Amino acid sequence: MARDRVARLRAAVERDGPTCIWCGRAFSEQVEPSTEHVVPRVKGGPSWLENEVAACRRCNSERGHTAPVEWLEECGRRGWEPDEPRLGRVLAALAGAIAERGGQRRARPYLDAQLRRLRRRRAPGTA
């Protein structure tokens, strides 16, 4: 059964916790969550829960269509506390969902490149 955007946002917060994936701020009346597509829709990213995380409106707006690993690195440069393990889990879950459901021809190479880049960041001896 397909979920609407509000239900997907609620599910993402329940799955990942009540903080922004990019800056680490806790959601509150002042810091509202929004649905963030990890693989942007313009890059073929689906509106599936596996491709969505909760991000504060500031981060969602400032990220735009920047690649997720590139934005993760930018957030770190800004002194924020991005949740790299959460990003890895979401990217892996999306890859699994695409493998299971099929389709998403445009998103696959983009997703694969992001997973490779994230693995390189985690490899010993790399920055």
pTM of the model: 0.89
Q: What is the mean pLDDT of residues 37-51?
A: 93
60 and 52 Cβ atoms separated by less than 8 Å: no
| Predicted pLDDT at 122 | 79
The residues, any chain, with a CB within 8 Å of residue 11's CB and separated by 6 or more, are 3, 49
Q: Are 42 and 65 in contact (CB under 8 A)?
A: yes
Q: Does residue 12 surpass a pLDDT of 60?
A: yes
What digits encode the pLDDT tens for the residues 55-101? 999 999 999 999 999 999 999 999 999 999 999 999 999 999 999 99
C-alpha 106, offset from chain centre = 17
54 against 123, higher pLDDT: 54
Q: What is the pLDDT of residue 125?
A: 59
| pLDDT over threshold 60, residue 26 | yes
Contact 56, 32 (CB under 8 A): yes
